[in-house]
A and B are shown apart, each in its own frame.
Chain A
Amino acid sequence: MAGQQRVYRQRVRSTQSLKKMFRAQELIAASRIGRARDRMAAAAPYSRAITRAVSAVATHSDVTHPLLAERPGTTRVAVLVVAADRGMAGAYTASVIRETERLVTRLREEGKEAVLYVAGRRAESYFRFRKRELAASWTGESDSPSSELAEEIASTLLEAFDTPEADGGVGELHIVSTQFVNMVTQRPQIVRMLPLEVVEGVAPAGDHEALPLYEFEPDPEQVLDALLPRYVRTRIFACLLQAAASELAARQRAMHTATENAEDLIRTYTRLANQARQAEITQEISEIVSGADALAS
């Protein structure tokens, strides 16, 4: 009987230390998320400027560019998966992976082969464990991606897109990441990045002012040549920043729930321990009383 009580007390103690850990994780995520959102906001002017410029070139000239052209006949498709480096973020990585698997299946049905590029250790270990081949992976910066990382990812992918298929090139690029809608909603999303579809979807909605008739220095082709890789990099960077903010928001929420669950458990176990103690006392009293009775009679 006394053992029962001790077991409950032990559970209460271990749940208490878990709770402390969850609480700390929650606070860490909460303090970092502000910075992640600030970085998202800080990157906005650059991406707005570049989007505007790309739309301007695309509307005012009929230039074609390898990054804009469809590549019929290619069956290899690059898929960039953006997930977390660490767990404790609820379903964050799981839902990104689920979307990825769905996309890969869909591509296979269309007769295309998906080539995986992964950012984030959790997703990397998921695919490695299943012996899936990864073309490249980047880890270590999922909660505060640098623009250098975006540069590196973009140049790797652009290079793959530039290579002919026979040499391991790819014909399309899809990005699976998480869109940061607000603190409570983060949505996994799939974006087809390459070949670029500049006209639709790029022009910011509600922006109805006509773009001026630009002069291009030195000429439209070269301007486009300089702009498009930057545009791709900006989009990838934006995806990484959104994913970082989403990861932290998901972690904060998951850890908040975990803390509350720990509190519930502590309450339950404390009650059970008290009950066990009460039962023990009652039993001891009845033993003493019955012993005294036996002696008296």
Chain B
Amino acid sequence: MAQLEVDLVDTDGTIWSGEARQVSAPASDGEIGILAGHTPVLSVLRHGEVRVIEAGGAVHRWSVEGGFLSVDGDQVTVVVDAAEAVAAGTSGR
């Protein structure tokens, strides 16, 4: 299965960058989930949690303070004002 190239950046630099299977983020009118092959989208984010699930099942979570998200091909860029890591776990899904 195709992978997403994910970059999570804030004003002071790149927070996380790598390949992932799925990204979910708090879009302004509800949670948005992105898998490979998603249509290009540019979305405003509100306060909430960004989750990145790697191919191996490892989950990275950040609590973010709003920002925006752009999907372009399989390139996902999450731009946030401030992010704080929430303890990483493994997804049972």
List residues of chain A with CB under 8 Å of any chain B CB: 39, 42-43, 45-46, 49-50, 52-53, 56-57, 147, 150, 211-218, 222-223, 226-227, 230, 233-234, 237
Q: Are B44 and A213 in contact (CB under 8 A)?
A: no
Q: Is the interface of A mostly helix, strand, loop or mixed?
A: helix
B residues 41-93 touching A (CB-CB < 8 Å) = 41-44, 66-68, 70, 72-73, 77, 79, 81
Q: Which residues of A contact B67 (CB under 8 A)?
A: 230
Q: Which residues of A contact B13 (CB under 8 A)?
A: 42-43, 45-46
Q: How far is the CA of A296 from the CA of B73 in the complex (A)?
A: 110
Q: Are A214 and B41 in contact (CB under 8 A)?
A: yes
CB of A207 to closest CB in B, whole Å: 13
Q: Are B9 and A215 in contact (CB under 8 A)?
A: no
Q: Are B9 and A46 in contact (CB under 8 A)?
A: yes
Q: Are B44 and A49 in contact (CB under 8 A)?
A: no
Given A52-B70, A212-B72, check contact A150 B11 (CB 8 Å). yes
Q: Are B28 and A215 in contact (CB under 8 A)?
A: no
Q: How far is the CA of A265 from the CA of B31 in the complex (A)?
A: 70
Given A212-B40, A217-B41, A222-B28, check contact A49 B11 (CB 8 Å). no
Q: Are B9 and A147 in contact (CB under 8 A)?
A: no
Q: How far is the CA of A42 from the CA of B13 in the complex (A)?
A: 4
3 closest A-B pairs by beta carbon, nearest first, are A42-B13, A217-B43, A212-B40
Q: Which residues of B contact A215 (CB under 8 A)?
A: 39-42
Q: Which residue of B lies closest to A47 (CB)?
A: B11
Q: Are B12 and A147 in contact (CB under 8 A)?
A: yes
Q: How far is the CA of A147 from the CA of B43 in the complex (A)?
A: 23
Q: How far is the CA of A215 from the CA of B29 in the complex (A)?
A: 14
Q: Is B2 an interface residue (CB 8 A)?
A: no
Q: Are A46 and B10 in contact (CB under 8 A)?
A: yes
Q: Are A223 and B42 in contact (CB under 8 A)?
A: yes
| CB contact between B44 and one of A42, A217, A234 (< 8 Å): that residue | A217
| CB contact between B14 and one of A45, A57, A230 (< 8 Å): that residue | A45
Q: Which residues of B contact A42 (CB under 8 A)?
A: 12-14
Residue pairs across A and B with Cβ atoms less than 8 A apart, 20 shown, are A39-B12, A42-B14, A43-B13, A45-B13, A45-B14, A49-B9, A49-B79, A52-B77, A56-B42, A214-B72, A216-B41, A217-B27, A217-B32, A217-B42, A218-B28, A218-B43, A222-B44, A223-B43, A226-B44, A230-B79
Q: How far is the CA of A45 from the CA of B78 in the complex (A)?
A: 11
Q: Is B5 an interface residue (CB 8 A)?
A: no
Q: Which residues of B contact A52 (CB under 8 A)?
A: 70, 77
Q: Are A50 and B79 in contact (CB under 8 A)?
A: yes
CB of B59 to closest CB in A, whole Å: 23
Given A214-B42, A226-B68, check contact A43 B28 (CB 8 Å). no
Q: Which residues of A contact B39 (CB under 8 A)?
A: 215
Q: Which residue of B lies closest to A57 (CB)?
A: B42
Q: Which residues of B contact A212 (CB under 8 A)?
A: 40, 72-73
Q: How far is the CA of A294 from the CA of B2 in the complex (A)?
A: 111
Q: Which residues of B contact A46 (CB under 8 A)?
A: 9-13, 79
Q: Are A45 and B7 in contact (CB under 8 A)?
A: yes
CB of A75 to closest CB in B, whole Å: 34
| CB contact between A234 and one of B11, B27, B29 (< 8 Å): that residue | B11
Q: Which residue of B lies closest to A52 (CB)?
A: B70
Q: How far is the CA of A222 from the CA of B27 in the complex (A)?
A: 12
Q: How far is the CA of A227 from the CA of B14 in the complex (A)?
A: 19
Residue from B9, B32, B41 with most neighbouring chain A CB atoms (10 Å): B9
